[in-house]
Structure 1
Amino acid sequence: MHSMESQTQKALTGQRLRSLAFAYLAKREFSKAQLRLKLLEKDADAVEVDTLLDELSDQNYQSDERMAGMVVRSNLRQGRGPQRIRQQLKKHQIDAELASGDLAEVDWFAEALATKVKKYGTEVATDPKLKAKQIRFLQYRGYSMDVIFRVIQFDEHV
């Protein structure tokens, strides 16, 4: 019984490792670092995991560039600004440089304005407390102060 137990405890290797990696990637996109961690949690051999990840990356089954684009688009849909998106990239262990092209294409003023309008409407706040609340909200969302001040003062009726 003891020898059978040690057989089931042996490291995840070869085709089983490859199948598990594909199963993870079939469900959703992973950064290389995230996928490495998930496979190592399953008792896989680190050298074999690294070799497999290089192969998956070379064959474009796994792509940090694709993952970076997905993180940017997902966060934009949630009304997040560039600082929050960079935080998310760091959380997913993705080099922010991989998303720099996607981030450069975004009109941050328009995104911040849409986020503000969705929460507070088009009215320009005159009450200092409401202005401060809007500023904090947009800061938390990850927008820069210059964009925030332009947004809270923007009046579409002028």
Structure 2
Amino acid sequence: MNESDLYQYGLFMLSRRDYGKAELFTRMKRRMYEKNEGIIDEPLIEKVLERLSEQHFLDDERVVALMMQGYIRKGYGPLRIKQEMRQKGFADTLVEKKFADVDVDWFEKAAYVRSRKFGESLPQDFKEKSKQIRYLQYRGFYGDMNYELFSR
């Protein structure tokens, strides 16, 4: 697989959806392995990724901002969003920078997510309360935030 083929593959992938640099690197590496009988040229992949970045087709900051807004819309909390971003290969410094730019009241978001799933009234019994707290923790909200929500 030569540089031109790899570049075309990168454009094809980016035309379908936005990718981060690390995720696209992994995809290109897999593609090169399949097409070159197991031979992977990582410097060539880096060169193509740099070319895509220079042409503004590949921009980690834009991808992080878009993904973060999507996760917030889906009702995820800050812990879950950071975990998802880490799994996608984004730098922690970039993610923290974007978190500083986001204006979200996480406590209100947690209350909204809880009420959407379980209704407006707060649970009275321990079993139901712990079920709702586990749900909010799974969604990525801080534990102290969850307990504060239920102690009102």
Establish whether TM, by shorter chain, passes 0.5: yes
Q: Structure 1 stretches of 5 or more lacking a match?
A: 1-11
In structure 1, what residue type is equivalent to 2:53?
S
Match of 1:6 in 2: none
Bigger CA drift: 134-143 or 35-44? 35-44
Match of 1:122 in 2: 120
Matches within 5 A, 1:60-139: 60-104=56-100, 105-139=103-137
Pair 1:19-2:17 in alignment = no
Counterpart selection for 1:146 from 144, 147, 152 = 144
Does the residue aligned with 1:93 lie in a helix, a strand or coil?
coil
In structure 2, what residue type is equivalent to 1:28?
R
In the TM superposition, what whole-angstrom CA distance separates every residue of 1:44-91 from its partner, at most 9, and x where no partner exists? 632111011112112221011112112211211221111111110011
Does the residue aligned with 1:42 lie in a helix, a strand or coil?
helix
Q: Which of structures 1 and 2 has the larger relative contact order (alpha carbons within 8 angstroms, sep 6+)?
A: 2
Counterpart selection for 2:22 from 9, 29, 33 = 33
TM-score by length of 1: 0.83
The CA distance in 1 between the partners of 2:119 and 2:92, in whole Å, is 32
Match of 1:8 in 2: none
In structure 1, what residue type is equivalent to 2:59?
S
Extract structure 1 runs of 4+ deviating beyond 6 A: none
In structure 1, what residue type is equivalent to 2:127?
K
Q: CA RMSD in A?
A: 1.5
Count of matched residue positions in the alignment of Structure 1 and Structure 2? 143
> Rg bigger for which structure?
1
The CA distance in 2 between the partners of 1:120 and 1:103, in whole Å, is 28
* 1:153 to partner: Cα distance: 3.6
Bigger CA drift: 134-143 or 69-78? 69-78
* 1:106 to partner: Cα distance: 1.8
TM-score by length of 2: 0.86
Identity in percent: 30
